[in-house]
Amino acid sequence: MRTIVFKGGTVIDGTGSPPSLGNVLISGSTIERVGVFEAPVDAEVIDCHGLAVTPGFIDSHSHLDLQVLENRRDKLAQGVTAEVVGNCGFSPYPVPADRSLLYDFANGLFCGGTDWGWPSAKGYLEQAARSTTTTVFSLVGHGSLRIARVGHQLGQLTERDVDWMEQKLSESLEEGACGFSTGLMYSPGASAPFAELERLCRVVARHQKTYATHMRGYGDLLVEAVDEQLQLARRTGCRLQISHLQAVGPRNWNKQAVALEKIENAVAAGLDVAFDCYPYVAGSTVLTQLLPQWALESGIKGLLAKLADGAERKRIAAETDVNLEQGWTNILISALETPANRGLIGQTIAAIASSRGREPVEVAIDLIQEEQGRVNMLEMNQSEANLRQTLTHPLSCIISDGFYVKGRPHPRLYGTFPLLLGEISRERGWLTLAAAVHKITEKPARRFSLPQRGRLEPSYFADVVVFDPGTVNSPASYETPALQPRGIRHVFRNGIAILSQGVPCSSVAN
Ligand SMILES: [Zn+2]
């Protein structure tokens, strides 16, 4: 068993307490000692003078459900040692008999092929446990659950269908899924009535797990959406985590303070509610999210059939335009598949519209047709003042929400954690280093009940990051996202080095 001392560093233990100079001793996969002590003579020593020593970072809102199985380097290079996947209603299980239904639903975020899918959490978690780079925790996705039972059917389901979903959810939670997620801006989850969500949240509460939600709206409907989720938590007693809280579009920026006040009042009244946010003003998702979600009844195939009908297309275009919260100049194409359109990556819909001589909404719909629905976008959504307010709020965890696309991914996939420690904490001074570390270690571990992770404390897993607080940062930009972070020196997961002297260990990572 290897005994290693991280010696003489600034220890930031994950709890939010002020840093202190000291050592961290790990033995095998466990932390043995933290503080000021003589290093045992037979221990290997990693000199940490001038460096910060922290728990491994936890990305509690990841969409790398499939990529965590491939031991990719992009997360470990940032110091991430554990991830919560299955967010926003998308999980790679339960898989329906007709697998194409699930692929059609989830591949826009999963960036997957046609070779995945598990019957329940058990099979997925078993495979994920073999990852050499990260420890995987998974939420059961509401959209996936619904698709497994009724495909792309919308609206209220029969009693028997909801019974089945309750049963399936309960089974996956028993098998080790850490909670449940909804994606109420994605079809078919968006069509679920409150009563269905209430029944499923009761199952979550019974298992004492976490319910994470991509709410029904973040712009015009932000306040109503928060009310609905608080109502669910109040009626069912489940622990609620509101995903990527923000106010989308200038006309809604003032609503964020209202939403936060509602959440604070709910906490004061005894509800177990918190939220998370990523440290960027831009968001990213599939372009079809801008459409009215009824248009996605019967999935992408159904959508393309509707768009081929002149009258239907007109109706969809009109609704899309009215409901658009952030403006066409703020929406950039980040990924698509046909070679002829590759040059559009990085351009705004407004710019493409003026070069094609078409209305922006028509261009968006043209692209969805040309790409058979497979288009991703980057949206400049938020104000910097609002971002500062959520990042520094005592109830927030900080997350990546990152995912791969066939094109140019959002830089949050490559830079979230070093950016938080560098630009946000050190350079802008929005929060102390100890507070920033807390929001990516102990805080998410508590929200999702991840046992023995998120703190430098004896008996905890030896997930350790060593970084240079003077240089840590991410150079990843919207134009050039796939850049390696700076200043991350060593990363250990379960006592095994996965990044050493700034370089991912080739024995563990692809
Ligand atoms: Zn989401």
Question: pLDDT per residue over 439-453, tens digit each?
Answer: 999 999 999 999 999
The residues facing 282 across adjacent strands are 380
Distance from C-alpha of 245 to C-alpha of 247, rounded to nearest angstrom:
7
Pure H helices in 18-134: 99-110, 121-128
Two structure tokens written together for 309: 């009908």
State the Cα–Cα distance between residues 186 and 88, nearest whole angstrom. Answer: 8
Distance (angstroms) between ligand 1 centre and the Cα of 336 equals 20
Cα 31 from Cα 460, distance rounded (Å): 6
Q: How far is the CA of 244 from the centre of ligand 1 (A)?
A: 7
**Cis bond upstream, residue 188 (ω within 30):** yes
Question: How much is the pLDDT for 1?
Answer: 83
Among 131, 133, 74, 17, smallest CA distance to 456 is for: 17
- How far, in Å, is the centroid of ligand 1 from the Cα of 143? 12
Lookup: tokens for 324: 């658009």
For 105-112, what is the mean pLDDT? 93
Q: Measured in angstroms, how far is the CA atom of residue 245 from the centroid of ligand 1?
A: 10
- Give the pLDDT confidence of 241-262 residue by residue, as tens digits: 999 999 999 999 999 999 999 9
Spacing, Cα 265 to ligand 1 middle (Å): 24
pLDDT at 509 over 90: no
pTM value? Answer: 0.95
Q: Is the pLDDT of residue 326 over 90?
A: no
Q: How far is the CA of 50 from the centre of ligand 1 (A)?
A: 38
Instruction: Specify burial of residue 82 (Cβ count, 10 A radius: 0-12, 13-18, 19+).
Output: buried
Ligand 1 centroid–CA 26 distance in Å is: 36
Calculate how far, in angstroms, residue 14's C-alpha sits from the geometric centre of ligand 1: 26
Ligand 1 centroid distance, CA of 289 (Å):
11
Is the pLDDT assigned to residue 15 strictly greater than 90? yes
The reported pLDDT for the residue numbered 293 is 84
| pLDDT tens digit sequence for 204-233 | 999 999 999 999 999 999 999 999 999 999
Sign of CA dihedral 166, 169, 173, 178: negative
Measured at the CA of 457, the angle between CA 452 and CA 458, to 5 degrees, comes to 90
Tell how far the Cα of 215 is from the centroid of ligand 1, in angstroms. Answer: 8
Give the span between the Cα atoms of 438 and 363, in whole angstroms.
44
Mean pLDDT over 268-275 rounds to 98
Cα of 49 to ligand 1 centre, how many Å? 40
Tell me what pLDDT residue 73 has. Answer: 94
Secondary element (H or E) of residue 436: helix 433-438
- Ligand 1 midpoint to CA 184 (Å): 9
Residues of the chain with pLDDT > 90, as a percent, come to 94
CB-CB contact of 99 with 115 (8 Å): no
Residues above pLDDT 70, as percent of the chain: 100
Report the distance separating Cα 387 and Cα 209, nearest Å. 28
**352 CA to centre of ligand 1 in angstroms:** 26
Q: Measured in angstroms, how far is the CA atom of residue 367 from the centroid of ligand 1?
A: 22
Distance from the alpha carbon of residue 229 to the mean position of ligand 1, in angstroms: 15
Among 7-11, 167-171, 264-268, 503-507, the minimum mean pLDDT is found in 503-507
Give the model's pLDDT for residue 169.
98
User: Using one digit for the tens of pLDDT, what is the confidence trace for 364-423?
Assistant: 999 999 999 999 999 998 999 999 999 999 999 999 999 999 888 999 999 999 999 999
- Compute, in angstroms, the gap from residue 396 CA to the centroid of ligand 1: 16
Distance from Cα 52 to the centre of ligand 1, integer Å:
32
Query: pLDDT-based confidence at 29, cuts 50/70/90?
Result: very high
- Decide: 365 and 317 in contact? Cβ < 8 Å: yes
- In sequence order, which residues have a C-beta less than 8 Å from that of residue 97 and are 6 or more positions away? none
**What mean pLDDT comes out for the span 34-41?**
95
Element (H, E) at 53: strand 52-55
Residue 44 confidence (pLDDT) above 90 = yes
Q: How far is the CA of 285 from the centre of ligand 1 (A)?
A: 8
What's the confidence (pLDDT) of residue 78?
98
Beta-bridge partners for 25: 5, 33
How far is Cα 87 from Cα 65, in angstroms, rounded to an integer? 9
C-alpha distances in angstroms, 330 versus 275, 377, 389, 405, 414? 25, 10, 22, 19, 22
Q: How many Å lie between the centroid of ligand 1 and the Cα of residue 223?
A: 17
Residue 89 Cα to ligand 1 midpoint, Å, equals 8
pLDDT for 298 beyond 90: no
Kindly indicate the confidence band of residue 299, based on its pLDDT and cuts at 50, 70 and 90. confident
